[in-house]
Amino acid sequence: MPEFWYGLFPVGFALALGAYLLALKIRLFAVVDTIWATGMGVGALIYYLMSAPGNVRGAAALAIMLFWSGRLSLHLLRDRILRGKEDPRYAALAKHWGERANFRFLFVFLGQIPLVALFLVPFSLAVGHTQPDWRVLDSLGILIAVTALAGELVADRQLARFRADEGNTGKVCRQGLWRYTRHPNYFFEWLHWFAYVAFAWGPPQAWLSFVGPVMMYLFLRYITGVPFAERSSLKSRGEAYRDYQKSTNTFFPWRPQRDHNS
């Protein structure tokens, strides 16, 4: 589908520029995250309609991507944009960049489009798998997707319920999934990308589908996810969070070293 990739960049850059101008107007750089979340769903839908695979595998991959994209987009819209709540990551960048922040954020916004294109590769390989029969691997892909999406939803709700209790102010959530990893939402977000690997597996080029889980792990664990979240939690919860770090795995769920009542 060369025409899809050729068309993705100019249209995507135009939309990213529009989102950037909106962010400047409302003074909320968290708008940038909606480019990534919504762009993945829209891009996947357009690719699917243009490729017209005509098999259940492609439809399943599309349904998973649209559910993931829709849920994340609504979360960002409700939790940040409608509330006018700036993401601490972007607030820190704006402070660090000072007077040049507005100009440098332009490249952050435009940079979302190559990322969308990169992460659409596993999806395109899953949709492009032309074997008509439903395979065990396809069922595995469904199982991975359902587990990942359900796990992320449960983790978000557990944290929201914990934070809603005023008695937990300044404390660390160690309930449910948060007892086994400090970032269960990020873990399940990463796990979700293996669904497309399962759908895509078979043709010689299927190994390229690993770009999804590999790149997502690097971003979440070392760039945009865990480092910022850890610094923010240490700043707001201090020793309680340092104790949490000592007892609980950073990313992959595992039994905590010891139980806590805090």
Contact yes or no for 110/104 (Cβ under 8 A): no
What does the pLDDT look like over 161-175, one tens digit per residue?
Answer: 998 888 888 889 999
What's the token pair of residue 29? 């750089």
Residue 117 CA neighbour count, 13 Å, CB half: 17
More confident of the two residues 256 and 143: 143
What's the token pair of residue 238? 């201090």
Kindly list the distances between the CA atom of residue 14 and the CA atoms of 9, 67, 76, 89, 158, in Å, as whole numbers in the listed order: 8, 25, 21, 24, 38
Q: Would the pLDDT of 77 be above 90?
A: no
For residue 133, give the H/E element and its range. none
What does the pLDDT look like over 184-225, one tens digit per residue?
Answer: 999 999 999 999 999 999 889 999 999 999 999 999 999 888
pTM recorded for the entire structure? 0.89
Q: Would the pLDDT of 5 be above 80?
A: no
What does the pLDDT look like over 232-247, one tens digit per residue?
Answer: 889 888 899 999 999 9
What does the pLDDT look like over 110-160, one tens digit per residue?
Answer: 999 999 999 999 999 999 887 888 899 999 999 999 999 999 999 999 998
Residue 9: its pLDDT value, please?
86
Give the whole-number percent of the chain exceeding pLDDT 90: 61
Kindly list the distances between the CA atom of residue 120 and the CA atoms of 25, 127, 202, in Å, as whole numbers in the listed order: 30, 10, 18
Kindly list the distances between the CA atom of residue 237 and the CA atoms of 155, 193, 226, 260, in Å, as whole numbers in the listed order: 19, 32, 16, 15
Contact yes or no for 246/227 (Cβ under 8 A): no
